């Protein structure tokens, strides 16, 4: 999708906490899964995020790493993975359920197409309002780094 819509949509990959660390409640169980320890410092988390994105072929996406306080993961209810489309106004235009079972890349692509066509409407739920506030805070933080 990044290749298809990257000129029209600002994609970001947000790395949150490791879902399957070897010492965790759900360690790697399938062949090919990365066997990693849960990072204990922000520097370790950044290195793990870079390793994971490279090994999963996602390193073309701009990477943001959640802090050790997991503020972004909590604000977006993102664990273990989730897709969000945030409108230019900072409102949540679309979100899938939590992965892996609620992960919906087809719905995400349809929401992107609707947003590009000007047909997307923001969600009007208490959670969406909370995420909108978080998105605004995230935007301030992102701009403070000198990002576009």
SS (H, E, C) 28-95: CCCCCCCCECCCCCHHHHHHHHHHHHHHCCCCCCCEEECCCCCHHHHHCCCCCCCCEEECCCCCEEEE
The parts of the chain modelled with pLDDT lower than 50 are 122, 124-133, 147-148
Contacts for 114 with CB less than 8 Å, ≥ 6 apart: 94, 120
Domains annotated on the chain, with CATH: 2-87+95-121 (3.40.30.10)
- For residue range 124-136, list pLDDT tens digits in order: 444 444 444 455 5
Residue 55: what pLDDT?
A: 86
- Give the H/E segment covering residue 14: strand 13-15
Q: What is the pLDDT of residue 11?
A: 87
d(CA 76, CA 131): 6
pLDDT number for residue 129: 44
Q: What is the pLDDT of residue 139?
A: 56
Whether 97 and 47 have beta carbons less than 8 Å apart is answered as no
Measured over the CA atoms of residue 134, residue 132, residue 92 and residue 9, the dihedral's sign is: negative
């Amino acid at each position: 999708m990044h290749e298809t819509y990257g000129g029209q949509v600002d994609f970001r990959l947000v790395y949150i906490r490791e879902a399957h660390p070897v010492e965790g409640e759900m360690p790697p169980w399938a062949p090919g899964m990365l066997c990693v320890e849960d990072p204990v410092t922000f520097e370790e988390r950044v290195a793990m995020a870079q390793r994971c994105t490279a090994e999963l072929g996602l390193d073309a996406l701009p990477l943001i790493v959640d802090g050790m306080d997991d503020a972004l993961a909590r604000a977006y209810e993102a664990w273990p993975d989730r897709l969000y489309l945030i409108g230019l106004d900072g409102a949540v235009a679309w979100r899938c359920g939590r992965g892996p079972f609620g992960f919906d890349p087809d719905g995400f692509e349809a929401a992107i197409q609707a947003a590009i066509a000007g047909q997307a409407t923001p969600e009007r739920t208490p959670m969406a309002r909370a995420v909108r506030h978080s998105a605004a805070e995230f935007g301030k933080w992102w701009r403070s780094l000198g990002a576009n």
